Structures are given as structure tokens and as C-alpha cells.
Amino acid sequence: MHTESSHGKQYHIACARGDLAERLLVPGDPDRVPKIARFWDTAKEVSSNREFHSYTGTYKGVPVSALSSGIGPACMSIAVNEAANIGVHTFIRIGSTGAIQPGINCGDVIISSAAVRLDYTSNCYIIPEYPAAANHEVLLALIEAAENIGIPNYHVGVTATTADFYAGQGRPSTVCGTCDMSNLVPTLQKARVLNLEMETATLYTLANLYGLRAGAVLAVFNSHISGEFKSGAGEENAIKIANEAVRILNGWDAKKKESKKRWLYPSLLTSK
């Protein structure tokens, strides 16, 4: 199916070229979009169709947009494909997550360096052995942003992306299925995976395949260790980090362009 309407808008996200900035924040929850835009200098609603709600504006003078992806890897795939079709080159996911390691508490923030591909959607695009990794520039910008803002409890490491919230994350199911997922969390814990969520691996895989940049910053709503659940905990910190990362990337991109360099590296940032 052709994804562009007669008005030039993408079929699902209902945005056309020029509607979204080149650097895009991607929350799952449509209600998180106006929360993100509250920190901008200027903001206007662009579209609202199904789970895809978008705003565009500026943050500290830098063009930025936000587009919700909805829940799950298939919806993230739609958001990435259609946003990339109209010129977006950098994606930062702002999501919620469940921590599976001790020492990570509700309200903390996780910056995902890579993701385990249990999403299945990314398998439609490439073999399972292909890695789902964050872009190094976006990853560093998110860490820099957390430090600049003074966020005390942030963690950096590997995320696991699942296709389902219940049985897919090892939660008990009322239906006796043929697939036993009870060992999933213990296995991931031994592998030093920090958390479970449902979109990041899809985002990273598609971004790398398409030559785009992607990162993710996730607020910890739930701890699988303590059983604690606090909806909204850490959400504002994750939003602040993502917005600030856009400003940082804008400066670094300008530095690369001025220096005629393709890749960001530490000494480039300190050179005059």
C-alpha cells in the first residue's frame, strides 16, 4: 500500500514533508506529546490520527518535533518509516520501562545503549543476528544532557524489547500457553540487561538499516525486583534529557559541518 495520501501526508502519522523537524522525539503515549512541548519556546499541534499525535516547535531556538508511536514494536515501525519518508533523520524515544536489576528504582532513568531484539517486528526487516544499537552521537548527547541538567539517578546499558507486555515479559498469564517465558527475566538479568520495554529495538534496528540516528531515554515506572509500580515516575526527567539532547546534537552537528567531518569524536568537540 502506498503510504502517502493525495494531500502528501503519510497515511498513519498524517504529516507531510515540512511538518516535522529533522530531529524527532518519539514518546509512546500520545498524552506525553504536549508534556514534552511544555518545555519548548514555541509549540503547535501538527496532527492527531489514531495513536499518532504530533507537535512541532523550537527548544532553546532549535527546531524540534514530537510524534507519539503508540504501544508496541509494530506501531514504532510505522512511526519510523513514515517520519523518515518526510525527512526526519534523528529519533529519540522517550518511554517508560520496567527495571530488572537491583539498584534501579522507580523514578530513575535508563539511557539505552543497545536493545535485545525480542520484538519480532524487526525480524521482518533483517536477520535476528543484526544488532539493535543506539547511534553513538545520540547516546553521548543523552548522557551529556543528563549530566548538564543534573539528573542524579540515570543508568546506561542494554534494554530488552519485547512484543508483549504480559506473557512476553514473563508475567503470569491466565491462559496456559505453549510457550514458557518464566525463565526470560532471570536469563536477561544474568546477561546484565537493565530493563524491559516494547519499542527501542525496533527503533534502533530500522534507524541503522536506513542510515538514521536513534537513541532512547526511559523513565522507570516499575521494578521487577521490588514489585513497585509508580506510573509517571521519572517521566519529567526523561523529557528534560531528551529535549536537551536535541540542543546538544544541534551544536555538535554544526561543529561537524564546520570542520567538514562526518563523524563526531571527542577531540573534535574541544578543538577551536
35-78 tens-digit pLDDT? 999 999 999 999 999 999 999 999 999 999 999 999 999 999 99
Q: Which amino acid is at 133?
A: A
Q: Please count the structural domains in the chain.
A: 1
- Model confidence at 6, pLDDT cuts 50, 70, 90, reads very low
72-81 tens-digit pLDDT? 999 999 999 9
Q: Rounded to an integer, what distance in angstroms lies between the CA atom of residue 239 and that of residue 141?
A: 14
97-150 tens-digit pLDDT? 999 999 999 999 999 999 999 999 999 999 999 999 999 999 999 999 999 999
- Model confidence at 1, pLDDT cuts 50, 70, 90, reads very low
Would you say 112 and 196 are in contact if contact means Cβ atoms under 8 Å apart? no
Q: Rounded to an integer, what distance in angstroms lies between the CA atom of residue 67 and that of residue 252?
A: 23
Average pLDDT taken over every residue of the chain = 93
Residue 15 within a domain? no
Q: Rounded to an integer, what distance in angstroms lies between the CA atom of residue 117 and that of residue 41?
A: 37
* Helix, strand, coil % over all residues of the chain, rounded to 5: 30, 30, 40
Residue 270 within a domain? no
What residues make up the domain containing 35? 23-260
Residue 198 within a domain? yes
Q: The domain that contains 27 carries what CATH number? A: 3.40.50.1580
Residue 271 within a domain? no
pLDDT above 90 (res 248) = yes
Residue 196 within a domain? yes
The confidence score (pLDDT) of residue 179 equals: 60
The confidence score (pLDDT) of residue 173 equals: 63
Would you say 256 and 268 are in contact if contact means Cβ atoms under 8 Å apart? yes
Would you say 97 and 226 are in contact if contact means Cβ atoms under 8 Å apart? no
> What's the angle, vertex CA 64, arms to CA 161 and CA 113, rounded to 5?
30
Contacts of 209 (CB under 8 A, 6+ apart): 125, 126, 130
Residue 27 within a domain? yes
Residue 142 within a domain? yes
Residue 266 within a domain? no
